[in-house]
Amino acid sequence: MADLTDASHTATDALEESITTATTQAIEAVNATAAKDDLRASGIALLNAAASWAEDNVKVPLKLSKVYTLQATATPTTSIAQFTDLAISFGDGPGELDTMWKSVDRAMSYELQWRLAAAGTWTLAKTANKSRTRLIDLPSAPCIQIRARALGPNDIQGPWSDPGEHLVP
């Protein structure tokens, strides 16, 4: 029975020692993480202070760009360019025309309209996200006009292009 009691005490002592070691290691890990976080915060503060000093005192952006990654100041889009180089060609079937153009800087989409040549009101043909699209379900006519404009952020609308003319099969 004494052997069993001694073994029990030895196991209990080993368990308590393991728990103490694990608790000590957990406390050390928490302290090391806190020290790392403090050091990181100090490093960021130092970098921000250096960047602020450089921004205030170094007037040549090229010199700053050798040390820092410079970001351009965002300028809001207040206008969008006129559509140019509208090209119109036959589509694959009746009532279809293919259109393409040079993309417009900052355009998010493009609006295309059609009308019977030199008469009638303009009708929405399509809104496209790319600088080429196929117009379908157009009326067969000897000649229709197509115009387009770029649409930018914040509902900015560019000016209409000069109309292009094409036969619709």
Query: Please, is 80 exposed, middle or buried when counting C-beta atoms within 10 Å of its C-beta (0-12, 13-18, 19+)?
Result: buried
Residue 96 or residue 68, greater confidence: 96
The pLDDT of residue 86: 92
Residue 66, pLDDT score: 73
33 has a pLDDT exceeding 90: no
pLDDT at 134: 95
CB 88 within 8 A of CB 114: no
Query: Does 77 or 70 have the greater pLDDT score?
Result: 77
Query: What is the three-class DSSP state of 121?
Result: coil
Asked whether the predicted pLDDT for residue 4 surpasses 70, the reply is no
CB 106 within 8 A of CB 152: yes
Residue 1 has pLDDT above 70, yes or no: no
**CB contact burial 59-75 (16+ within 10 A = b; e otherwise):** eeeeeeeeeeeeeeeee
The tokens describing 48, both together, are: 């921000």
